[in-house]
Structure 1
Amino acid sequence: MPPLRHPDIRAVLFDLDGTLIDSAVELAHALNQMRARRGLPALPVQRYRPHVGSGARGLLPIGLGTGPAHTAFEALRNEFFDTYAGCLGAGTQPFEGVAPMLQRLQARGIRWGIVTNKIERFARPIVAQTPALAHCAALVAGDTTTHTKPHPEPLLEAARRLGIAPAHCIYVGDDPRDMQAGRSAGMGTIAALYGYIAPGEDPAQWAADHSIQAPMELLQKLGID
């Protein structure tokens, strides 16, 4: 497909976990603390990593064998949230190339923001303590709007806050829900193949407009050298 050329694209919206930041270490640390309380050994980060994009619904079945249908799930999810809150800043880092990529977008006058299903309680502190994300022009978290992705409402809210029509925005994410939300919002979509691709997922089936193997490849898709 041809590049999504700047200046047609005036804003780029990003998913957070698995697209801008690698939060697997921090989340694994929280889950392993919960396992330790129960006398269970720690699991390696790589065991959790593919499931990070699904949040507590995907991680608790790995860490504690408890899925959303279990009667104990809500209590465990609350415990997980409280434990994770104590781990913020314990290992989350931007993916390699994110900082220079965002700097280059800004230099070319392209605004950027974040649309994540992570609730604001966690999303805002992470963004605030990550220097590479300091110039985020709009942050829409999982509890900012009535609906979460794959509904388009969060993406449309971010475009509204930026004052840019959805047709002039693209959305970058590492989950099929990201691509669905972007399409429904009338935005171009780019799949971040370096992110947390869940087992059994085939990004070729996501119907993304483009895909990238590394953050800096986004500049090529936008025709920015």
Structure 2
Amino acid sequence: MFKDTDAVLFDLDGTLIDSAPDLGAAADKMRTDRGLESLPLALYRPMAGAGARGMLAVAFGLTPEDVGFGDLREEFFSNYESRMTESTSVFEGVADLIARIDQMGLKWGVVTNKSARFTLPLTRAMPLFSTAKTIISGDTTPHAKPHPAPLLEAARQLDLVPGRCIYVGDDERDIVAGRAAGMPTVAAAYGYLGKTADTVAWKADATIAAPGALLNLLRMA
């Protein structure tokens, strides 16, 4: 399906790794530290892709516009930083997918909105990322997704024209960013999809229900 592909770029949280347990625990600690009851992970998981904004919305019903949000966000960041690899794991099928991409001679990398403060130590701590050719964080460029700048920077670092890179992500902004960068896009329907998510409406070039399904698209090229 994807002809003339030289690289596969992935979103991080909800696409390659399941970081919801650590993100949720970081927010939930803020509740229990204040004497509030703990909330189940199932409430946090759908919002994990939204980072601090999503976690604080679940934990306290707050939005970035609320007074004190900035201080609580930094507390959340501190909690998360102290435990971000405790319960985070690679999604089933991802390790095999990356191994096959390597075997096919394709380059691969990560483009995430997670700041380098977390992205770099997290990816260095997980063996999966040892063969990644580029890691682009949310603050690598002046703009984060859905702006195409991070994806264009990834293509630049790989020394490839954007159209020869595929972008895979579990959020609509991933598809918007990929399209704006001129890359074929794949929606990861197994990721952190919110209650109102409609992957069909995202108009990605393809949708996969599991990581390994991407291999079928690559083999068809």
Alpha-carbon offset, residue 58 of structure 1: 1.6
Q: How does 1:42-191 map to 2 (within 5 A)?
A: 42-191=38-187
* CA drift at 1:224: 6.2
Worse-matched range after superposition: 125-134 or 140-149? 125-134
Q: Tell me, what secondary structure is at the counterpart of 2:167?
A: strand
Unaligned runs of 5+ in 2: none
1:6-25, aligned counterparts within 5 Å? 8-25=4-21
List per-residue Cα deviations over 1:60-109 (Å, max 9, x = no partner). Answer: 01012211110111111011001111112111101001111001001111
Mapped to 2, the partners of 1:30 and 1:224 lie a distance apart of: 42
In structure 2, the residue corresponding to 1:143 is in which secondary structure? coil
Matches of residues 19-34 of structure 1 in structure 2 within 5 Å? 19-34=15-30
What is the rounded CA distance, in whole Å, between the counterparts of 1:65 and 1:34 in structure 2? 13
1:12 match: secondary structure:
strand
SS at match of 1:139: strand
What's the TM-score once normalised by structure 2's chain length?
0.98
Instruction: Flag structure 1 segments of 5+ consecutive residues without an equivalent.
Output: none
Is this contact kept in 2: 1:66–1:72, CA < 8 A? no
- d(CA) in 1 for partners of 2:160 and 2:40? 42
Normalised to the residue count of structure 1, the TM-score between the two structures is 0.96
Q: Whole-Å Cα distance in 1 between the matches of residues 131 and 25 of structure 2?
A: 28
CA distance in 1 between counterparts of 2:33 and 2:59 reads: 12
Q: What CA distance in whole angstroms lies between the structure 2 residues aligned with 1:56 and 1:205?
A: 26
- The answer for the alignment partner of 2:2 in structure 1 is 4
Query: How far did residue 121 of structure 1 move?
Result: 0.7
Maintained 8 Å contact 2:24/2:48: no
Offset from partner CA, 1:5-62 (integer Å, 9 cap, x none): 3xx1000000000000000000111111111111011111110011011111121010
Query: 4+ runs of 1 displaced by more than 3 Å?
Result: none
SS of 1:198's equivalent in the other structure is coil
Alpha-carbon separation, structure 2, partners of 1:12 and 1:20:
12
Residue identity in the other structure for 2:2: L
Q: 2:70 and 2:17 mapped to 1: Cα distance?
A: 26
- C-alpha distance after superposition, 1:148-192 (max 9, x if no partner): 000000000000001111010010000000000000000000000
Please report how far the alpha carbon of residue 130 of structure 1 lies from its aligned counterpart in structure 2 after TM superposition.
1.1
Number of equivalent positions: 221
Q: Secondary structure at the match of 1:134?
A: helix
- CA separation in 2, counterparts of 1:75 and 1:199? 28
